[in-house]
Structure 1
């Protein structure tokens, strides 16, 4: 059953459509057949979960664009939120 939403094929996070308890398999409509992601921690409704490894300093991709930079390594199945993501929204660029 689909329980998350990937907005763009290049996204490395998906959004929980329901609360995901620990050890829930993450399912989304265009997931590759060989992709198996299991929630490593509870994921609240509407929050992001990594579907690929994201190394510290790498961009978190949602909507096909960077929404921030990982402040620590993030494994597939981990909750992605303000505790491990520094937002780039509204950041000044030069």
Structure 2
């Protein structure tokens, strides 16, 4: 089995793409390091390598957790398998 994205902790809400060429409609497999588990679902957007994807649905104003760290606030709803970036997540720092 090949791994397409990595999630560090079970409480994270996003994974990070570790392969190039992820396309919308593709079924991906992710590795959750904590607990050594895998998760599989279909992505809704192309995801560039190194970018984040939602591993569960997120509502507006939810906190985005990556590597057990608060990395920002959802500014519009994000469905599982969607790309997370500046168009739907903002920092809480300013």
Query: TM bucket by the smaller chain?
Result: 0.7 to 0.9
TM-score normalised over the length of structure 1: 0.84
How is 1:24-63 mapped onto 2 (pairs within 5 angstroms)? Answer: 24-30=26-32, 35-63=39-67
Equivalence for 1:72: 76
Q: Is there any run of 5+ residues in structure 1 with no aligned partner, and where?
A: none
CA deviation map 1:3-31 (0-9, x unaligned)? 10102211110000013111122212238
Q: Is there any run of 5+ residues in structure 2 with no aligned partner, and where?
A: none
TM-score normalised over the length of structure 2: 0.84
RMSD: 1.8
Q: Distance in 2 between matches of 1:58 and 1:27?
A: 24
Q: Which structure has greater strand proportion?
A: 2
2:25 to 19, 23, 26: 23
| Aligned residues between the structures | 89
Q: Distance in 1 between matches of 2:6 and 2:37?
A: 14
Question: Which of structure 1's runs of 4+ aligned residues deviate more than 4 A?
Answer: none
